[in-house]
């Protein structure tokens, strides 16, 4: 899986871009670890980072009165719900790293290059 930052992802919003880079790095760390004890706090941190990033992006989109905000925000909500479901599994002692990496991969390889890049271009 690829969790690499690309300059084509830049939104022109330094805080948003820094948060997205940080989340991509967290995804890389999650994918690289096989330490089950370390995974639990990593997953919790991943969820918090993702939620914060999405709130920042949606605030920028609202401020710019961007078209498609509702669809974009719904995708964010779907990613958060899926990640929360996987986090709940971890809390119940069922570690499914593969499912968590899948959610994050869909965000990184589908949502960012399509929805986020389009929103950034529309805002310029």
- DSSP characters over 42-76: HHHHHHHHHHHHHHHHHHHHHHTT-TTHHHHHHHH
Residue 39 pLDDT: 86
Query: Could you report how far apart the first and last alpha carbons of the chain are, in Å?
Result: 30
Q: Is the pLDDT of residue 66 over 90?
A: no
46 near 23, Cβ under 8 Å? yes
59 near 19, Cβ under 8 Å? no
pLDDT tens digit string along 4-44? 999 999 999 999 999 999 999 999 999 999 888 888 889 98
At 96 the three-state DSSP class reads coil
Fold of 13-123: 1.20.120
- Of the listed ranges 24-38, 43-57, 93-107, the one predicted with least confidence: 93-107
Global confidence as pTM: 0.90
What mean pLDDT is predicted for residues 88-98? 74
Between helix 97-106 and helix 36-63 the angle, nearest 10°, is: 20
Residue 1 pLDDT: 52
CA distance 119 to 124: 9
């Amino acid at each position: 899986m690829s969790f690499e930052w690309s300059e084509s992802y830049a939104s022109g919003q330094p805080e948003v871009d820094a948060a997205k880079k940080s989340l991509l790095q967290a995804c890389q760390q999650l994918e690289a670890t096989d330490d089950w004890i370390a995974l639990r706090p990593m997953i919790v941190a991943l969820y918090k980072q993702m939620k914060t990033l999405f709130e920042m992006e949606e605030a920028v989109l609202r401020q710019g009165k961007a078209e498609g905000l509702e669809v974009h925000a719904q995708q964010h909500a779907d990613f958060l719900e899926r990640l929360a479901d996987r986090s709940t599994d971890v809390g119940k002692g069922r570690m499914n790293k593969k499912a968590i990496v899948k959610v994050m991969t869909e965000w990184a390889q589908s949502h960012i290059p399509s929805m986020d890049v389009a929103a950034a271009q529309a805002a310029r």
